[in-house]
Amino acid sequence: MARGTNKLTDKAVRAAKHEGKDYKLADGQGMFLLVTKAGRYWRLKFRLRGRERLMSLGTYPDTSLAIARERRAEARALIADGLDPVKQRRGYETEQALTLRALIEDWLARQHWATSYSKKVEGRLQRHVLPQLGERPASEITPPELLALLRTIEDTGAQETARRCLEHVRGAYRHGIASGSIETNPGADLSRALRPKRKANHFAAATTPQELADVLRFLWGYTHRATPTVSAALKLTPMLLVRPGELRHMEWSEIDQDEGTWLIPGAKMKTGTDHLVPLPRQALEIIESLRPWSGHSPYVLPGARSPERPMSENAVTAALANMGLRGIATAHGFRASARTILDEVLGWRPDIIEHQLAHTVRDPLGRAYNRASFHPERRRMLQEWADYLDRLRQEGQAVAIKHTDA
């Protein structure tokens, strides 16, 4: 049975909008419209000598449906003669070649990352790579010119950014090689040509009960000087084990007071999957106390300037600096504090702690556990952790309770 051709209409193409997830609209004979956050792109998938290939036909609306179909017909005529349209289009206009930009866009569209991380990768490439090389045919970019670009980034002092850009570009080329649209990877052997990686800077963290007790007393002593939202953030940060950005973006709609849970959508998570946080009694009380201040906002911890935006990422950092804890404690460092003390002092199983930290944990078959994994255990652990923090702050000494059933 022959495959359908010319399935799309101008109206359907105009109406195609990105609604949180990339998707394709097929027109037939391998041609489709790829709809992404960045734009809408015509692509042609074909097979030549047993290999699947992908080529760009243009960007909508600059390239209309009719023009894209003309280019499809031209490409398929070449394929019928046993010719590679990607190589033959050297005579086309430059924008019709499979550019590095088109290769990267297709690679990004196929990744299953959290939205925040995907935007970070896309933004990094948009700033540092695509302005110089984006419109070049991907197959013509050489290792020396890619290295020259990366060294330019290094010269600004952004060595880690240069390495990340190389990692992303190599990933896009690996995808192109796998799909048959590219034959070589110019970034394959460039890692050692870049400057040595700097030693990692770990987040400052209190990793003993006594150190943590001192920090907690500083935090609670400072809260009467802070706004209600900053005060709440300072109290919740050590308690919930979430990342600072996840806490700042907490929304009222994600809180279930009856169940005592906070469900963080995957789009906000580094892992890209939903994360269920059991809320201890102390956290529920702190959150509920904010309703008179932020109940009118979608965010539990809104920004000082606008209730429609979350708290500034610098708010907690600035508060820690103001109380003299710069270099001693960080918002992110409280996760390390909890990881160490829950394991070494309170005796909780490492896999349960890792689940609560939202690190990727897999079962013996390699499958990632779902968001509710170990929920009863994690609820007991977080309630015990909140109680333990209270005792540390009030008594100023470690209270070890080793568990045999955790």
| Catalytic machinery residues | 243, 270, 332, 335, 359, 369
Is-contact 285 231, C-beta < 8 A? no
Pinpoint the alpha helices (H) of 290-397: 291-294, 315-322, 333-344, 350-356, 375-395
What is the distance between the terminal CA atoms of the chain, rounded to a whole angstrom?
60
C-alpha span between 154 and 356 (Å, rounded):
37
Tokens of 247: 């806490």
200 by Cβ neighbours in 10 Å (0-12 / 13-18 / 19+) ranks as: exposed
25 bridge partner residues: 33
C-alpha span between 271 and 269 (Å, rounded):
5
Q: Count Cβ neighbours within 10 Å for each residue of 183-199 and write b for 16 or more, e otherwise.
A: eebbbeebeeebeeeee
- Other C-beta atoms closer than 10 Å to the C-beta of 371 total 18
Which backbone phi and psi does 87 adopt, to 5 degrees?
A: -80, -35
Tokens of 404: 């045999």
Paired sense of beta strands 23-28 and 261-264, if any: unpaired
What CA–CA distances, in Å, run from 308 to 115, 262, 300, 302?
20, 20, 11, 7
